Chain A
Amino acid sequence: EVQLVESGGGLVQPGRSLRLSCAASGFTFDDYAMHWVRQAPGKGLEWVSGISWNSGSIGYADSVKGRFTISRDNAKNSLYLQMNSLRAEDTALYYCAKDMRAVAGQDFDYWGQGTLVTVSS
């Protein structure tokens, strides 16, 4: 059974940093691209970032480019999101999502339950 378990969310002040993690199991992690997708309270889905199976291809939404860094450790079956210079508008539930392909696309066939990030003073 595929499982994606996010962690690392919490309350953080504007301008500070936070690192999210996603522990994957139930599939061959290094065969697939992975993504972070967020959802602000009461709002729609927003793609944040994606990374290919070997970290050779990485993409970011304009809204986080230069502030967030996605990475993965295939030996640990884990995905990460380093979030710096956090803003109030980054407040959201952050989902880890598995791609159906090795190279990052937009077909997310498994999702975690999300970890909530709240940016507030």
Chain B
Amino acid sequence: QSALTQPRSVSGSPGQSVTISCTGTSSDVGGYNYVSWYQQHPGKAPKLMIYDVSKRPSGVPDRFSGSKSGNTASLTISGLQAEDEADYYCCSYAGSHVVFGGGTKLTVL
């Protein structure tokens, strides 16, 4: 049950796009179309942003999109806004368990 691999940090200027990668194995990310992404602001509970690789829950802006290729999933945020600055975690179903990524801190410059 190893954690998924995410970059520790990414940054971008307002209006730009950023992509956060999430690398796993064929036993988790690569084996199922069950990857989700969570946004967490300091002191707050996580919020679901993407589920089933690329689906957006109601209320999540379409600036947020998800994709997957092989064992790597990606979260892309376009038209960066100041309020997007937060920690982002990927998460994958892995059969008998669930595994999170280590988290990526997004800084909006």
Q: Kindly state the interface size class of chain A when it binds its partner.
A: 20 to 34
Query: CB-CB < 8 A to B98: which residues of A?
Result: 35, 47, 50, 59, 104-106
Tell me, in angstroms, the Cα distance from A40 to B51 when the chains sit together: 24
Query: Which residues of B81-101 have CB atoms within 8 Å of chain A's CB atoms?
Result: 87, 89, 91-93, 96-101
Are the CB atoms of B103 and A44 closer together than 8 Å?
A: yes
How far is the CB of B26 from the nearest CB of chain A, in Å? 16
Query: CB-CB < 8 A to B36: which residues of A?
Result: 106-108
Asked if B18 CB lies within 8 Å of chain A CBs, one says no
Are the CB atoms of B100 and A46 closer together than 8 Å?
A: yes
From A60, A100, A111, give the contact of B45 (CB < 8 A).
A111
Asked if A9 CB lies within 8 Å of chain B CBs, one says no
Query: CB-CB < 8 A to A29: which residues of B?
Result: none
How far is the CB of B24 from the nearest CB of chain A, in Å? 12
Are the CB atoms of B103 and A47 closer together than 8 Å?
A: no
Are the CB atoms of A106 and B93 closer together than 8 Å?
A: yes
**Which A-chain residue is minimally distant from B101 (CB atoms)?**
A44
How far is the CB of A33 from the nearest CB of chain B, in Å? 11
Query: CB-CB < 8 A to A109: which residues of B?
Result: 48, 51, 57
Interface string of B54-82 (1 = CB under 8 A from A): 00010000000000000000000000000
| B binding-site residues for A, Cβ under 8 Å | 1, 3, 34-36, 38, 40, 45-48, 51-52, 57, 87, 89, 91-93, 96-103
